[in-house]
Amino acid sequence: MDLPKNRFKAALKDGRHQLGIWSGLGGHIAPEILATCGFDWVLIDAEHGPMEPIDVLPALQAISGYPDVTAIVRPADHSASVIKRLLDMGA
């Protein structure tokens, strides 16, 4: 099984310009709307937004329906357990 290509990392490596936006709202509605606006990436800000790690999952699921958009997560805590949970969710 081949892993999906990480378009965000590939663009960084190639030095290509990217346009993205930060979302600090909980839930899935705002991230999904942002995913349809032509951005290359949407960052889910769990550090300054009103969400716990489990609240990030609906946002990741909503963005995953748009293959041209990369979902990025900014964790509230840099502990290994929080980061592992976010990675397990697909961040």
Domain residue ranges of the chain, discontinuous segments joined by +: 18-89
The answer to whether 51 touches 26, Cβ cutoff 8 Å, is yes
Question: Residue 78 catalytic?
Answer: no
Q: Is the pTM of this model over 0.75?
A: yes
Q: Select which of 17, 28, 48, 78 is catalytic.
A: 48
Residue type, 91: A
Q: Is the pLDDT of residue 4 over 80?
A: no
- Work out the pLDDT band at 90, boundaries 50, 70, 90: confident
| pLDDT attached to residue 3 | 76
Q: Is the pLDDT of residue 26 over 90?
A: no
| pLDDT attached to residue 48 | 87
H/E stretch holding 83 reads helix 80-89
Per residue in 34-74, pLDDT (tens digit) is 999 999 999 999 998 788 888 899 999 999 999 999 999 99
